Chain A
Amino acid sequence: MPIPSGMTISGADGRIVVRGRATGDALVLEAPLSLLCIRPEDGVIDDVHHPDRGQSVTGRVLCLPATRGGPASTGVLLECLRRGTAPAAMLLGEDEPAVVISCLVGLELYEKSMPVVVLKRESFAALATGTRIEIVES
C-alpha cells in the first residue's frame, strides 16, 4: 500500500465557508452521511447501514460527498464541538447549512469551531482516506 502523501487545501480548491486552520488525517466517506448518525460521546459513525460505520470522525478531516439529516443535525455537531469529539475540519462536496450554523454557534458558546471548505469536484475526487491534510486560511 503506498504511503499517502500530504496535501494542502486552500481557497483555491473551493469555497471557504468557515475560516480557520487545521491539520488532520482525511476520512473520506463513500456514501452520504446523516449527521444525526455521529455519536457525540465519542465521534463514532453509528449507522448500521453506512459503509464507514464504526469509524471515528474526531480530530480527522472529515470529507463528505453529501449529507442527509434534518433540523436536528446542528444539535449533534454542536454537541461534538462542545465535547471535543468533532472533526478537525470538514471538506464537503456540497453546501450544508447545518455545518456552518453549528460552527457559528460553537464559536460563540465554546470558542470552538472548525474550518469548512466546499470543494470543487476535481479537488474532492483527489481526496483519499489517510492522507495528511493541512487546511490553510488563504
Chain B
Amino acid sequence: MVSLTADDRRRLRGAEGPALKLAMDVVCATAEIGGAARLIDIEGAHLSESFYAGQAHQDFVDRMISLGARVVVPTTVNPGSATLRGPQGATADPEAVSAARRLMRSVLRLGCRPSFTCAPYQLPGCVTQGGHVAWSESSAVVYANAVIGARTNLHYDYEDLCAALVGRVGDHGLHRDGERKASLIVDVGAVALEILRHELGCHLLGHLVGSAVGHAIPAIIGLPAETRLDWLRALGAAASSSGALRMFHAVGITPEAPNLNAATESQAGLPRLEVTGSDLRSAVNDLSRPGEGPLQGVYLGTPHFSLVEFDGLLHLLDGRRVRDGIACIVNTSRHNRDVLRARGLLGRLERAGVALMVDACTYYGLPLAGLRGRVMTNSAKWAYYAPRTHDVAIEFGTLQDCVESAVNGEPCRADSVWHDHLWR
C-alpha cells in the first residue's frame, strides 16, 4: 500500500479537479505496481508527450488543457515527430506533419519549456546531483542516474505528464539508495587503452553492455580517468537502445562510484563480464550494415550533439567543406543552436556545409522520411535505430571518420583507432 499525505488524498478524491484526480490516479497506480511505500516530491520532469504517436496523444493533451492543467515543476519535452519549420522528408505525409506540429505547440500550453530535446541535461539548471525527477526518454534517464547522480525511473507516456502535474512520483526503483547499487561487474581492463581513450570505445561498450546485462545495473571497471561526459552519454544511449539499461556505474568516474565498494552492496558473488577488444570488434560488425553505392549523408547528434562535440567537429573540419551532394546533418537542441549562434559558430558550420536539425529526431518521425541508401554515423544509438526506421545501409565510424567521409564524399576509416593490433 502506498501511504499518502492529506494533499495527495485530497487530489485523489477530486477536490482539486478532474485533471489532478486522473493524474493522481495514474501516479498512485504506477507507485503501487513499483512497490512504493509513499510518494515523493520531484524537482523536474521531462516528457515524451511532444512526439506524435497517434490521435490519442493529442486527445490526452487537449483534455488536460481543457481542464486547466499546468505542470507544477520545471518541465522539458522531447523532440517532436516533425521539425516546427522547414521541409520534411520526401515521403512525409503533410497531414502527419501538421498533426506533429500541432501537438508540439499544444504541450507548451501545459506550461512546458519549448526545449524539444532528448538531452535536457544540456540545458542550464535542469537537474542536480541527488535530485529526484520524473523523466521519460531512455538515454536521458541513464545519463541523469549514472552521470549526474540524479534519480529517476524511466517514465511512461501520459504517466510522465501526470507526475509533472502533481509534482509527485512513487518512491521506488532508482529513487531509492538500495536500488541503485551494481549487481554485475563489467571489466574492460583487457581492452587496449587507445580504444578506451576514444569516444568509439564507449559507443561500442554501450551496445555490448545493453544486450548483455538485461535489467541489471553494471559497475564498469577499467575505464580511464579521461573518459569524457559525452562518451559516458554515448555508452548509456547505446545500452538503452540495444537493451534496457537505466543506470550504470563507471568506477572512479561517475558520482556514486568513487570505488567498486561504493558502487556495490557487496562484491561477493557478483557476476563478472570480461570485455575484450575482439568483443568490441563484434559490436562494430553488429552496428554496421554494409551497402553498395554512393554515400548519401553523414548523421551526427544522437542523442543531441553537445557544445563540446560541436567544438570537436569544427576542429576536425579544420576549415574544409563537406563535398557537394553529401548531406551532413547534425541533430541538436534549439538551445545549443542559439548558443552556437551567439558564439559566432553557426556561420562557420553553415559555410562548411553542415546543416543543423533542431526540435526533432533524425531517425524517428518525419524529418527524414524516405531516407535511403548508404549513410554514415558515429552514434551507436543512431546505427541501431536508423535501419529499423529507414531503408539505409550503415557505415559506422568515429567522428573523425565521419568528417573525412563527408569531406571526401565517400566512406572511409581514417582514424588511427582502427589499427588491427588494438582489437585483439
Interface positions of A (Cβ within 8 A of B):
17, 40, 68, 70-76, 78-79, 81-82, 95-98, 100-102, 104-105, 108-110
Contacts and interface: CB of A to CB of B under 8 A. Distances in A.
Contacts of A79: 53-56
A100 B60 contact: no
Nearest to B51: A72
B56 A97 contact: no
Given A70-B138, A72-B48, A95-B33, A101 B156 contact: yes
Given A71-B160, A109-B63, A101 B26 contact: yes
Contact of B157 (A75, A81, A95): A75
B55 A74 contact: no
Contacts of B378: none
Interface residues of B, number: 29
Given A78-B56, A100-B30, A73 B22 contact: no
B156 A73 contact: yes
B80 to A, nearest CB: 14
Interface of B: 18, 22, 25-26, 29-30, 33-34, 48, 51, 53-57, 59-60, 63, 136-138, 154-160, 244
Complex A-B, nearest 9 residue pairs according to Cβ-Cβ distance, in ascending order: A79-B54, A78-B56, A75-B53, A79-B56, A74-B157, A74-B156, A95-B33, A71-B156, A71-B136
A97 B136 contact: no
B56 A104 contact: no
A60 to B, nearest CB: 21
A101 B59 contact: no
Contacts of A108: 18, 22, 63
Contacts of B56: 75, 78-79, 81-82, 109
B59 A104 contact: no
Nearest to A109: B59
B30 A72 contact: no
Nearest to A70: B138
18 contacts: A40-B54, A68-B244, A70-B138, A70-B154, A71-B137, A71-B156, A72-B53, A73-B156, A74-B158, A76-B54, A79-B54, A82-B56, A82-B59, A95-B33, A101-B159, A109-B59, A109-B60, A109-B63
